[in-house]
Amino acid sequence: MDKILIKNMRVNAIVGVYDYERTTPQNILINITLHTDTRRAAESDDLIDCINYDALSQKVRAHVKSAERFTVEALAEDIASLCLGESGVKKVRVRVEKPDALDFVDSVGVEIKRP
C-alpha cells in the first residue's frame, strides 16, 4: 500500500480541558499518513486520479479551528474520519500534538491508526 504524507501541519486552535486552554488558541501540530494505491494517479499523471491533499489539508485545518475539542484523542478521531471519507483512502495514521502544552517537554499528543 502506498502512502501520502501530510507533515507538520500547524493550526492555532482551542483544544484542552483547562480553563486557559478553552479561551486561548494554542499551537496544534498534525501529521497524517494516508494509505492508498497511487498507481492510477501515477499512470495518468492527472489530479483527477489523485487524492487532493491540498483540499484535504484545508478541510482538516477548518475542522480543527472550529471543533474546540477537549482532548487530542477526540480531535485525532475527527481527523481520521475526515481522511477516511476521501475516495481511495484505505487506512490513515493521524498524530496530533500540542507543542506548548507543558513547558518541560517538547510536546504531548496522540497517534492513532484507522481502520
Q: Residue 33: what pLDDT? A: 99
Q: Tens digits of per-residue pLDDT, 11-65?
A: 999 999 999 999 999 999 999 999 999 999 999 999 999 999 999 999 999 999 9
- Residue-number span of the structural domain to which 58 is assigned: 2-114
Does an H or E element contain 42, and which?
helix 39-44
Q: What is the pLDDT of residues 93-102, one digit of tens each?
A: 999 999 999 9
Active site residues: 98
* This prediction's pTM: 0.96
Q: What is the CATH number of the domain that holds 42?
A: 3.30.1130.10
pLDDT score, position 94: 99
User: How many structural domains does the chain have?
Assistant: 1
Q: How far apart are CA 18 and CA 82, in angstroms?
A: 26
